[in-house]
Structure 1
Amino acid sequence: MTRIAIVTGGGDGLGREIVIGLAGAGYGVVVADVDAAAARDCADRVAAVGVPARALRADVREPADLHRIVAAARGLGGPHVLVNNAGGWTPDQQYPQADAGAWTATITLNLIAPMMLGQLVLEPMRELGGGAIVNIASSGGLGAAPYGSPEYGAAKAGLIRFTSSVAGLAQTHRTRVMCVAPDWIGLPRAQEQWRRLAVKERALIPPADVVATVLNLIADGTAGTVVEMWGGPPPKSSVDAE
């Protein structure tokens, strides 16, 4: 039986790379994205590999859409894996200039939605014998330095701490929750900003490295693990640091 994964924000960017990596590893994938065309294009690439694929236009900030995502995965025989990849900064202005509706939407996107979707897949995963959840955080959630988008940084920090807080779900629900916190990733949309950096700061992480880390966690990662990824040195996990 083909194992089924959900990837939020899977139509483009890192999400698309993760989807393709999962398909290459034999997983069927539910590609959920606010951009319906991007989701369909990515799902077509998955189907071409010969595994099940479902494109779904979904906004993870909407509870009804989260239920639709889980229903789509169940329709394919899953979910066995969830990758909470969807995320982003507040458009236009950041806290405190952004109005409360804008910055709370960012917290919902980056923290509340992964928590809610994770909760929704727990029982289906337990019914299937267990599963794995990988939360995609960011280096913006690490450390204590000032940050350009406080609400984004706070949400990603929350996602990191949430991951380690629910390690016990491996025993109660047979589902391992883990996290990857990468620094700048070498995706096309990062290239212009990257070129503006000083040479000594130019250390983008190859997307393939992030995908490999996600796949390794899904295969045999320890519940509660948080892997920090910085350009240059090997990934550092919370387990390594202990």
Structure 2
Amino acid sequence: MDIAIVTGAGSGLGRYLAAGLAEDGAHVFAADVDLDAAEETARQTGATAVRCDVTSPTDAESLIARAVDAGGPHVLINNAGGWTPGEQFPDAAPEAWGRTLDLNLRAPMHLTQLALKPMAALGGGAIVNIASSAGTEDAPYGSPEYGAAKAGLIRFTTSLGDPARIGGTRVTCLVPNWIGLDRAHAEVAAMSPEERAQAAPLIPPTKVVAAALGLLRAGAGGTVLELVGA
């Protein structure tokens, strides 16, 4: 049985990803900074809940160690991310926008680094980084630091495109547009009819999960898959 880690698994897309991997036969470590949320995911999916702040080096090391003790990790999905509403760059203080960079770029890089050695010992694994269309678009964006971090995550992925250099592990990246989670549906419902007509169609979360599983099974190292709504 594959041992899989999903970060940010306590809610939203992370919970869908944990459920999809569990249905695919993996044992999932559902990691989230909110332990209660991770435990709810565990109740729904049969996963193991782990309290983990991915921006904490100690927490990240402990998460990987738990997966190693269980015989893995074979799979890592770097899903945890986001940005806090309020002031963004250039109005936010450096420590505030720096936290967004840490969560969306530095943390996935560190977890990937920690996972590569044990994955190599298993003959190679598969890592999927969850980016965002905010990292590929060229229009003004509400959180420049978030857009920059996701752009960096995409380039980080392509930089690791040769599995032979990293112990046989395939590192890929999924770049979804607006995902149809509860918050997105609420935002669409609050729009005017004119705004709604111009908004990008929401992507069903199940479609994102299917794409992630496809990358885990067959994605070549360095693959970046952009995903848009129907």
Cα shift at 1:72: 1.4
**2: CA distance, partners of 1:45 / 1:198:** 33
Q: Distance in 1 between matches of 2:200 and 2:21?
A: 29
- 1:171 CA displacement: 4.5
8 A contact 2:178–2:200 mirrored in 1: no
Matches within 5 A, 1:69-108: 69-108=63-102
Specify the SS of the correspondent of 2:98.
helix
1:45 aligns with 2:39: no
Name the % identity: 55
1:227 equivalent to 2:221? Answer no
Query: Match for residue 209 of structure 1?
Result: 207
Please tell me whether the aligned partners of residues 90 and 103 of structure 1 are also in contact (alpha carbons under 8 angstroms).
Answer: no
SS at match of 2:71: coil
Q: In the alignment, which residue of structure 2 is the partner of 1:31? A: 30
Q: Which position in structure 2 is the counterpart of 1:129?
A: 123
Structure 2's unaligned 5+ residue stretches are none
User: Counterpart of 1:229 in structure 2: which amino acid?
Assistant: L
Give me the whole-angstrom Cα distance separating, in 1, the residues matched to 2:66 and 2:185: 34
Q: Structure 1 residue 164 and structure 2 residue 162: aligned?
A: no
Q: Secondary structure at the match of 2:118?
A: helix
Q: Does 1:143 align with 2:142?
A: no
Residue number in structure 2 paired with 1:240: none
Aligned amino acid, residue 214 of structure 1: A
Per-residue CA deviations over 1:7-31 (Å, capped at 9, x if unaligned) read 0001100000000000000000011
Q: Which residue of 1 aligns with 2:15?
A: 16
Which secondary structure does the structure 1 equivalent of 2:108 belong to?
helix
Instruction: State the TM-score, normalized to the length of structure 2.
Output: 0.95
Report how many residues are paired. Answer: 226
Q: 2:49, 2:101 → 1: CA distance?
A: 25
Select 2:148's aligned residue among 154, 160, 167: 154
Displacement after TM superposition at 1:199 (Å): 1.4
| Correspondence for 1:64 | 58
For 2:229, the aligned partner's letter is G
Measured in 2, the distance between the counterparts of 1:143 and 1:203 equals 16
With structure 1 as the length reference, what TM-score do the two structures score? Answer: 0.90
Query: In structure 1, how many angstroms separate the alpha carbons of the residues matched to 2:57 and 2:225?
Result: 28
